[in-house]
Amino acid sequence: MNDDASLVLRATDVSVAYEGRRPTRAVREVSLELHAGEVLGIAGESGCGKSTLAYALTRMLRPPAVQTGGTIEYVDRDGRTWDLTALEPGELRKLRWAEFSMVFQSAMNALNPVTSVGAQFDDIFRTHRPEMDRAERRERARRLLEMVGIDPKRVRSFPHELSGGMRQRVVIALALALEPRLVVMDEPTTALDVLVQREILDEISRLRAELGFAVIFITHDLGLLLEISDSLAVMYAGQFVEYAPARRIAEEAQHPYTQGLLRSFPSLRGGRRDLRGIPGNPPDLRQDLDGCPFAPRCEHAFDRCRTEAPQLLAAPGYWPFSCHLRDVPNGSEPRKVEVDERA
C-alpha cells in the first residue's frame, strides 16, 4: 500500500445497515482510498448503496442507518490522521466543511427555504471562520457565487427565487466555501436537464482544476464517470465489484456487471451506445447473499458462482474485481448453467 503523504481518505471494510425487522445491509465491506486532487467515481444501479456509502464516509448516517463495521481515516491538511469513526461530535464538526464537504443527491432541497442565500454562507463562515467580519463574509459569498457562474447580487435572493440549476450551483458554491480538500458529490446534477447538467459538470471540472480538491463523484452514469474520474469503482448490491483506473476500464472492464453497464448506459457526451440493459433486478439487500450477488443476472455464471462469493482481488496486470472468471484460464469458457428462479 503506498502510504504516501498525499493520502486524504482511507476507508477499510465499511459496512452499513438500515435497522429494521430485517436489516437492509446497504453497504458491505467497502474499502477505498483517495489521494489529494484525485477524482474517484462511484457508479452503480439505483439502490445499490451509493448514497449510503457517501453518508457513511462523511459520518452523516442517521437512524435507522448504522455503520456496522469498518474504519474511516481522514488525513487533514496538516498531515494529521483522524479516525472519523471514533471522533467526538465537536471535533467532527470542526473537520466538516473545512476539510470535507458534501453535495447531496437532493441538492435542490439542501437550502434553507426561509433564509437568504447570503445568510447560508454566513452561517458557514460564522461557525468556521469567526475571525471574518460581516463585510468579509459578504464579499466572500459574492465571490463564491461568481465563481460558480451566478450573479453576485443573488446573495440576497431566497432559494425559491432561484431556478433549479441556480440552486444546484449555489449548493456547489457552498460546498467550496471553505476550500475543502475533499468534496463528496452524490449525483449533483440528476434533477437537471441535460444542458444545464453539462454546464455544471464543466464548472465542477474547471473548479477542481483550479482549486485542486479531491472528489468522490457518485452517479449511475458510467459514461460520464469515464470522462471525469481518475479511478472508478463499480458498485453492486452494496459492494465494490470492480475498482479500476478510469482510463483503462472502458476497454478492459473485467467484471461482467461493469461490461453490462458500459453497454447499457447512454453517454452524456457523445453518441448513444447500444442500449442492451442487464436483464433482471438487483438482489434484495435485506437477505443474505450466497455466492456472487450478480450470478443470477450474469451470462457467464457457472456452478461456483452460485455457492462461493468471489473476492475483490486483482488479477496480474489488472486491478481488483470480484469475479470467479479471474481464476478461469483464458479461452476456456466455463460451463454455463441455467439459472433457476430464486424465490
Partner 1 sequence: MATVAVAAEPGAGAGAGALSALRDALRSRRLILGLVVVGFFVLVAAFGPLFVGDPNHEYTDALNAGPSAAHWFGTTNIGQDIFAQTVDATRPTLLIGAAAGLIATAISVVIGIGGGYLGGIADELLALLTNVALVIPTLPLVIVASKFMGDNGLTPTIFVIAFTSWAASARVLRGQTLSLRNRDYVLAARALDEPRWRIILVELLPNEMPIIVSQFTFSMVFAILGQAGLAFLGLQSADMLTWGNILYFAQNAQALDSGQWWWFAPSGLCIAVFGAGLALINFGLDELLNPRLRVYRPSKARAERSS
Partner 2 sequence: MRLRYIGRKLGFYLVAAWVAITVNFFLPRLIPGDPVSIIISRQTQSGTVPAGEAAALRKLLGLGSGSLLSQYGQYLDQLVHLNFGLSITEFPTPVADVVRPAIAWTLVLVGLATFISFCLGVGLGALAGWKRGTRIDALVPSTTLLTAMPYFWLALLLVYLFSQKWNLLPAQQGYDPSLDVGWNSAFIGSAIQHSILPAMTLVIASVGGWLLGMRNMTVATLSEDFVVAAEARGLSPVRVLTRYAARNAVLPSVSGFAVSIGFVVSGQIVMEQVFNYPGLGSLLFQAVSNEDYPLMQALFLTISFAVLGSNLLVDLLYGLIDPRTREA
Ligand X SMILES: Nc1ncnc2c1ncn2[C@@H]1O[C@H](COP(=O)(O)OP(=O)(O)OP(=O)(O)O)[C@@H](O)[C@H]1O
| 26 is a contact residue toward ligand X (CB under 6 A) | yes
Strand-pair partners of 100: 96, 182
Q: Which of 64, 245, 266, 280 binds ligand X (CB under 6 A)?
A: 64
| 161 is a contact residue toward partner 2 (CB under 8 A) | yes
Q: Which of 58, 67, 101, 105 binds ligand X (CB under 6 A)?
A: 105
| 277 is a contact residue toward partner 1 (CB under 8 A) | no
User: Residue 120 or residue 197: which is nearer to Mg ion going by CB?
Assistant: 197
Note whether 96 and 89 are within 8 A (CB): no
Q: Which stretch binds ligand X (CB under 6 A): 7-15, 47-55, 113-121, 134-142?
A: 47-55
The DSSP code for 181 is: S
Q: Which stretch binds partner 1 (CB under 8 A): 59-67, 114-122, 153-161, 321-329?
A: 59-67
| 25 is a contact residue toward ligand X (CB under 6 A) | no
E strand or H helix at 41, and its extent?
strand 39-43
Least CB distance to partner 2 at residue 106 (A): 5
Q: Which of 174, 216, 234, 285 binds partner 2 (CB under 8 A)?
A: 174
Question: Are β-strands 239-245 and 231-236 bridged in parallel, bridged antiparallel, or unpaired?
Answer: antiparallel
User: Residue 50 or residue 181: which is nearer to ligand X going by CB?
Assistant: 50
Q: Is 12 helix (H, G, I), strand (E, B) or coil?
A: strand
Q: Report the C-alpha gap between 221 and 150 in whole angstroms.
A: 26
Cis peptide preceding 320, ω within 30 of 0: no
| 309 is a contact residue toward partner 1 (CB under 8 A) | no
| 341 is a contact residue toward partner 1 (CB under 8 A) | yes
Q: Considering only residues 257 through 286, tell me which ones interact with ligand X, judged by CB under 6 A.
A: 285
Return the C-alpha cell found at 196.
444545464
Nearest to 149 by CA among 214, 211, 206: 206
List the Cα angle 32/246/254 in 5-degree steps: 85
Q: Considering only residues 175 through 234, tell me which ones interact with ligand X, judged by CB under 6 A.
A: 220
Note whether 236 and 45 are within 8 A (CB): yes
Q: Considering only residues 88 through 127, tell me which ones interact with Mg ion, judged by CB under 5 A.
A: 105
Q: Which of 12, 69, 85, 158 binds partner 2 (CB under 8 A)?
A: 158
| 111 is a contact residue toward partner 2 (CB under 8 A) | yes
Burial classification of residue 158, based on how many CB atoms lie within 10 Å of its CB (0-12 exposed, 13-18 middle, 19 or more buried): middle
Which one of partner 1, partner 2, ligand X, none is in contact with 95 (Cβ closer than 5 to 8 A by kind)? partner 2
Q: State the virtual CA torsion across 95, 97, 99, 100 in degrees, nearest 10.
A: 110
**Number of C-beta neighbours around residue 37 at 10 A:** 17
Least CB distance to partner 1 at residue 332 (A): 21
Q: Report the C-alpha gap between 172 and 206 in whole angstroms.
A: 13
**Contacting positions for ligand X (CB under 6 A):** 18, 24, 26, 44, 46-52, 64, 105, 220, 285
**Contacting positions for partner 1 (CB under 8 A):** 19, 61-67, 89, 279-281, 283-284, 296-297, 299, 338-343
